[in-house]
Structure 1
């Protein structure tokens, strides 16, 4: 077994979404998970289950950054769209990318964290190290305020290999000034500092 950060989540108010919209949400989640798997020294496994449920496993060092990226991915798909999830960190057994047969404490903790998650906040890691437990509620409050356009900026800029703001602005068809304003309003700089602090924690 090796150490994993395991996310177990579902889509907020999925019953209000049509099949096409829900499919778009899951396409965004899966794309984000694949992107996380391309980060340095990373790998991911992602699966959809129970209609509106999903699970992802990734290296624990990226737990904080990935939590924000997955939230941003969903919020890019439409106004008010969101996901909630529990995070478990610890040992787990995973064969290849097949989450169906995965087991171990990290997977159990993640499922339990989702099952006990109240209406708010929308992400929690009750059995994780204290620095993650402390940071998540603050990050959650910030993420709740992201607009769709802000989430697009967050999704790009939180990656370790993020594009320059000039390149991002060009890809989004916006001015650099607007992109900077959206990044500032979304709290990107503070969130990046939080991610870096978590990733260098001994």
Structure 2
């Protein structure tokens, strides 16, 4: 069976006028991908291109977890620039040599096309590809809408939950942030993130298959 990948192609908005924020946001994205790589036990191959662009690759069933982690980490940092993310789901013919700069395949093309389609819209997250069910693309539209409403405190609460599993309880997560358990739970629950539990489980268990030619 052909391996189906999710390729994320992203860019930062407003980067031309704020070089320090650009570098801080890129460091944050790179560090978040390193953390996800350790949690997923794989190499996301974070690759920066054209100054304010970036790419990663991972198995398709992990695309929602990676999206939520990246969006929450970015929105938790008040000075971070916004990022748009086009996700392409499909086959890959070449994973690249030293990084993704020379990688090829349907998933890469779909990711680039999806990112282009986000230009001029209020959306920051999109998905396409022959192996991407239409219902999944619709679900990500809802996730995008939800994430755009997260405050920095809500995003921080989500990021700790997703990226620091060593804090296994709300009490421990709250202590890591220097707040009370009640404050942590108020931020976490008001974000709407708990409502994504069933969707997160369904996508992690989803079988992605390429369309027959």
2 CA distance for matches of 1:79 and 1:139? 22
Matching residue of 2:126: 124
1 CA distance for matches of 2:189 and 2:43? 30
SS at match of 2:95: strand
1:174 and 2:179 aligned: yes
| Residue correspondence of structure 1 range 177-188 to structure 2 within 5 A | 177-188=182-193
Matching residue of 2:162: 158
For residue 147 of structure 1, the aligned residue among 141, 148, 151 is: 151
Distance 1:124-1:5 versus aligned 2 partners, 3 A rule = same
Of structures 1 and 2, the larger Rg is shown by 2
TM-score, structure 1 as length reference: 0.90
Query: How many aligned residue pairs are there?
Result: 201
How much does 1:170 deviate? 0.9
1:114 and 2:119 aligned: no
Matching residue of 2:5: 4
2 CA distance for matches of 1:166 and 1:126? 39
How much does 1:169 deviate? 0.9
Distance 1:131-1:161 versus aligned 2 partners, 3 A rule = farther
CA RMSD in angstroms comes to 2.1
How much does 1:188 deviate? 1.8
**What do residues 131-181 of structure 1 show as CA deviations (whole Å, max 9, x unaligned)?**
320211100111001111211111122349463211111111111111101
TM-score, structure 2 as length reference: 0.86
**What do residues 54-110 of structure 1 show as CA deviations (whole Å, max 9, x unaligned)?**
111111111011111111121122168421111011111214661111111111110
Matching residue of 1:21: 21
2 CA distance for matches of 1:11 and 1:135? 23
Distance 1:2-1:201 versus aligned 2 partners, 3 A rule = closer
Gaps of 5+ in 2: 208-213
Gaps of 5+ in 1: none
SS at match of 1:125: strand
